[in-house]
């Protein structure tokens, strides 16, 4: 499997013959930039890893501590093939683990220590962070067990905190409120999310050229797969009203493509305006629109597989989880209809 370039200080250059060359360059683009050092051509080779370790000052000697485990894990095939966003997520918690336990032997970690740390993190940072810590250290030690860092994984019997229902789908009242009161650029983003059912990051990188007649052909970054999504007639009306001012479908207030951070900042700033107080108090978030898309498809009678074909969800279980409320509403309507029918027959 080809390895992605998550190596710190490593830069790729492609010559005219389209052959990739790799260079180790510290502090690139700053006054402190060091001369580039050529790396082995094959980024997947053991020679590449060895030279990288040497240049980074990573000791080949392994003392089986958390610091050694984390260093080894970060240059492993498994870690280097993570998407940039997932690698960033892991790095956040790997840094915390190293700061807490860097000098400790991995094999000395008992389940009780993991449990106590999880609970302390929940108190200080919330249950979501505690679960993220547990996920990270479980995967880290699982990677280390066959490499003799430990004989077993102390996290195996520790459950994460139970999650709630997650992000709520927006109410129709909230959708109409946003349409009437929010900045048009942010209304457009809501409409795309509502009708395409894609994640925020995938919507923001959508190009006008990704439209092929009446469908969008897009690539989901998280799932790493291409999707073919027909365009709803209501979304088509919205698209026709959007000024053509960029190659991107969704642009910021300067007609430039959004970054994830700039979009989140603009969205939160909009939500915090005085006139948006009612909306903010409802607690709806952008990702809830993805659930709206699922619910709308299910209420229209789509099967879970048909829903997945639009939204790209990996599992039927997730779609069915979103559909719990849909089934309850259908059953409630059926029950009342039966009651009405029963009363009519008696009279």
| Average pLDDT of the chain to the nearest whole number | 85
Binned at pLDDT 50, 70 and 90, residue 142 comes out as very high
Span 4-29, mean pLDDT? 79
pLDDT in tens, 186-240: 999 999 999 998 989 899 999 999 999 899 988 887 767 788 889 999 999 999 9
Is the model's pLDDT at 140 over the cut of 90?
A: yes
Question: Up-side HSE of residue 227: CA atoms within 13 Å toward CB?
Answer: 27
Most confidently modeled of 62-71, 178-187, 312-321?
178-187
Is the model's pLDDT at 53 over the cut of 80?
A: no
Please report, rounded to a whole number, the percentage of residues in the chain having pLDDT higher than 90: 39
- What whole-number distance in Å separates Cα of residue 77 and Cα of residue 335? 55
Q: What is the signed CA dihedral for 136, 166, 185, 257, rounded to 10 degrees?
A: 20
The pLDDT, as a whole number, for residue 2 is 44
Is the model's pLDDT at 314 over the cut of 80?
A: no
User: Which is higher by pLDDT, 260 or 6?
Assistant: 260
Helices and strands of the chain, counted as H and E runs? 16, 6
The conformational region for residue 108 under phi > 0 = left, psi -120 to 50 = alpha, else beta, is alpha
Is the model's pLDDT at 22 over the cut of 50?
A: yes
Report which DSSP code applies to 4: P
The pLDDT, as a whole number, for residue 154 is 94
The structure's pTM equals 0.55
Binned at pLDDT 50, 70 and 90, residue 326 comes out as low
Is the model's pLDDT at 305 over the cut of 90?
A: no
The pLDDT, as a whole number, for residue 165 is 57
Binned at pLDDT 50, 70 and 90, residue 299 comes out as confident
Which structural domains are found in the chain, ordered by start? 1-59 (no CATH), 61-164 (1.10.150.130), 172-330 (1.10.443.10)
Binned at pLDDT 50, 70 and 90, residue 92 comes out as very high
Binned at pLDDT 50, 70 and 90, residue 265 comes out as very high
Least confident of 73-87, 97-111, 193-207, 247-261: 73-87
Nearest to 184 by CA among 114, 238, 142, 261: 238
Least confident of 119-133, 200-214, 248-262: 119-133
Span 247-252, mean pLDDT? 94
């Amino acid at each position: 499997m080809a390895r992605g370039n998550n190596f710190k200080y490593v830069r790729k250059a492609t010559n005219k013959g389209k052959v990739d060359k790799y260079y180790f360059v510290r502090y690139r683009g700053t006054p402190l930039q060091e001369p580039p050092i050529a790396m082995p051509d094959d980024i997947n080779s053991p020679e590449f890893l060895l030279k990288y370790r040497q240049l980074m000052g990573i000791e080949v000697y392994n003392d089986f501590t958390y610091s050694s485990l984390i260093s080894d894990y970060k240059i492993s095939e498994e870690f280097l093939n993570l998407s940039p966003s997932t690698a960033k997520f892991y790095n956040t918690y790997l840094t915390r683990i190293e700061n807490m336990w860097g000098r400790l032997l991995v094999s000395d970690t008992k389940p009780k220590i993991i449990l106590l740390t999880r609970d302390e993190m929940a108190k200080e940072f919330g249950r979501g962070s505690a679960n993220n810590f547990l996920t990270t250290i479980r995967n880290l030690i699982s990677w280390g067990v066959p490499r003799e860092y430990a004989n077993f994984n102390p996290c195996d019997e520790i459950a994460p905190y139970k999650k709630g229902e997650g992000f709520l789908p927006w109410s129709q009242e909230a959708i109409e409120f946003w349409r009437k009161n929010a900045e048009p650029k942010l209304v457009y983003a809501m409409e795309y999310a509502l009708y395409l059912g894609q994640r925020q990051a995938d919507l923001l990188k959508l190009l006008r050229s990704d439209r092929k007649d009446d469908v969008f052909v897009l690539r989901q970054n998280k799932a790493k797969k291409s999707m073919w999504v027909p365009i709803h007639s209501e979304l088509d009306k919205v698209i026709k009203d959007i000024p053509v001012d960029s190659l991107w479908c969704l642009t910021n207030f300067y007609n430039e493509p959004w970054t994830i951070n700039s979009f989140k900042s603009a969205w939160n700033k909009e939500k915090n305006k005085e006139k948006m107080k009612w909306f903010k108090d409802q607690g709806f978030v952008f990702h809830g629109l993805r659930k709206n898309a699922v619910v709308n498809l299910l209420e229209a009678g789509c099967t879970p597989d048909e829903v997945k074909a639009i939204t790209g969800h990996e599992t039927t279980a997730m779609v069915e989880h979103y559909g719990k409320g849909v089934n309850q509403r259908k059953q409630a309507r059926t029950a009342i209809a039966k009651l009405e029918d029963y009363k009519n027959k008696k009279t």
